[in-house]
Amino acid sequence: MRILKYNSAINEALEQLLKEDKDVFVIGQGVKSVWYAGGTCKDLVKNFGETRVIDTPVSENGVTGAAVGAAISGMRPIVMHPRMDFALYAMDPIINEAANWNYMTGGKENCPIVFWLIINRGGEQAAQHSQALQAIFSHIPGLKVVAPSNPSDAKGLLISAVYDGNPVVYVDDRWLYNMEGDVSDDFYKTPIGKAEVKKSGKDITIISYSYILNKCLEAAEDLKSGGIDVEVIDLKTIKPLDKETIFESVKKTGKVLIVDASWKSFGVSAEISALISEQPIKLKSPIKRLCLPDSPAPANSDLEKEYYISKEDIIKSIKEF
């Protein structure tokens, strides 16, 4: 166990996967560029060659389709889209082909592929380069969706995704890349479909994931001094959701704040809210959701400060219960 940055943990997972399994390969725009891939693909081309780490033209649909074909043929591709927005050009092979393959073959064949989609919010990149679209992929039968919040899970969930056997959308967020944390040097898996109670509490449950989960933990620590004991759940997997962990916590606290750093309408927070409301759980107050406004991301740093969720926004939402 040692301290690694989040992006270095992804890099280590890729190194170990490529070394351990000849069927694994990485493909996508900028995979041989240290800058373009945020350091996550550092030295991969040098260590494994351009047949295992394939830097591609700007042709998202064709590249993703080729990778889906390789997965159907028995390979284990990891398709990197350096902006989640770019994956919209590849919705046909992701949704029509990969997600449906196991079902359409009567369960006889799998499509073991990882769609590695990077959210690149902030930095005045505006509407077409900042979108968090995980709810779209979570809606699709046949796709699993994971979203790590720390370096250890960044590594473990990526390895699990590669060996799941069916398509997994790996939601990555560049705002996590400089985060440091303990990471084992072992080749390990973080279970898909299992959430974690990151902080126990009795007064209110916060449900979150990915980078904003860490802001929730900071808010929970700050609220201690005011006598508010917050429980924080890290989903880790958006689909399938760990309903048991969610329901158990909500039964205990009776109050729920869902913090989702994507849009509010028809999103991840809406699904979680609906699932809780369908249960015979006695709530002390209505479920609250804190999400991005239903508006495209601004291309202005001052507006970004208002648009994105802060620790202070989370504290304010909790105090309003």
Mean pLDDT of 237-256: 98
Active site residue 60: yes
Distance, CA of 22 to CA of 272 (rounded, Å): 39
Mean pLDDT of 246-273: 98
Cβ contact 35:177 at 8 Å: no
From the list 122, 120, 177, 131, the residue with the least C-alpha distance to 154 is 177
Catalytic residue selected from 81, 97, 129, 304: 129
Write out the residue range of the structural domain in which residue 218 sits. Answer: 196-319
Q: Are residues 225 and 107 in the same domain?
A: no
Catalytic residue selected from 12, 60, 97, 271: 60
Cβ contact 259:208 at 8 Å: yes
Rg for the chain, CA atoms, rounded: 19
**How far from chain centre, in Å, is Cα 4?**
19
Is the pLDDT score of 92 beyond 80? yes
Is the pLDDT score of 303 beyond 90? yes
Q: Are residues 139 and 230 in the same domain?
A: no
Q: Are residues 16 and 146 in the same domain?
A: yes
Distance, CA of 81 to CA of 99 (rounded, Å): 17
Which tokens hold the place of 231? 């429980």
Count of domains observed in the chain = 2
Active site residue 129: yes
Is the pLDDT score of 1 beyond 90? no
Distance, CA of 210 to CA of 4 (rounded, Å): 17
Q: Are residues 109 and 236 in the same domain?
A: no
Assign residue 63 the CATH number of its domain. Answer: 3.40.50.970
Q: Quickly state the pLDDT bin for 41 (edges 50, 70, 90).
A: very high
Q: Quickly state the pLDDT bin for 141 (edges 50, 70, 90).
A: very high
Q: Are residues 176 and 235 in the same domain?
A: no
pLDDT at residue 122, as a whole number: 86
Asked if the structure places residue 155 within a domain, the reply is yes
List CB contacts of 200: < 8 A, sequence separation 6 or more. Answer: 231
Share of the chain above pLDDT 90, in %: 96
* Amino acid, res. 92: D
DSSP string covering 110-142: ----EEEEEE---TT--TTS----HHHHHTSTT
Assign residue 244 the CATH number of its domain. Answer: 3.40.50.920
Is the pLDDT score of 34 beyond 80? no
Domain termination site, one of 115, 148, 183: 183
Token pair 């750093």 in the structure block, residue: 261
> What are the start-end ranges of the H helices in the chain?
6-20, 44-48, 60-72, 91, 99-104, 134-138, 151-162, 210-224, 243-253, 268-277, 301-307, 311-319
